[in-house]
Structure 1
Amino acid sequence: MIDWARVSDLRDEVGADDFGEIIEIFLDEVGETIAELRGGADPASLEAPLHFLKGSALNLGFAEFSRMCQQGEAAAAAGQGNTIDLNAIIDGYDRSVAAFTAGVVERFSG
């Protein structure tokens, strides 16, 4: 679900202090887009938000969630936005955040 090697690399690249800030920015920005999707979205306009979510998720190691967004983005680009299971994508985000939060505490606190 989480690419912990990517998370560790990012933390090493930016340092422990800035890592916390990056997590906060990620959760704020991605959370806003997820909130928009939770409110319902026009299937014809899903390509751009799913592209944003895919890239953001990949940068922070949310591998499974990124794959889900990539599949949705491809479907939207092919004009098949009505086939995208937004509830599954949103659930994937929620599960990823929970796993990430628990894992960060376990791996990097102390």
Structure 2
Amino acid sequence: MTEQLVNVHDLVGRCPFATSQKLLAGKWSLLIMHELAEGPVRFRELERRLHPITQATLTRALRQLEDDGLVHREVYGTIPPKVEYSLTEVGAGFKTVLASLETWGNQYIDYMKAAGRM
């Protein structure tokens, strides 16, 4: 029997883990989703909160999350222009995942401290 290698990209849209991994693959994706979980945030405020992220990196990450349907970009017709980012309905469903990640992350931090690794 020959074993066929499966390309992870072929599983996107069929496997929930591969799909989630693809959506959150960016270095900043989780942190951006975390910052938007509490409500709309303006670009400069996001940039400040995520320091040392660069403007170009934040723009690229937000565009990808917007293209994936997780983030909504609202442009207000003011001078100077005001742009706010928020989670879409499907993006807001990620809040429970963020809460679970926070719980697990804190448990792991405790483990690392107890093991003398921090």
- TM-score over 0.5 (shorter chain): no
TM-score, normalization by structure 2: 0.33
More strand by share: 2
TM-score, normalization by structure 1: 0.35
Largest Rg, 1 or 2? 2
User: Of the two structures, which has the highest relative contact order with CA contacts closer than 8 Å and spacing of 6 or more?
Assistant: 1
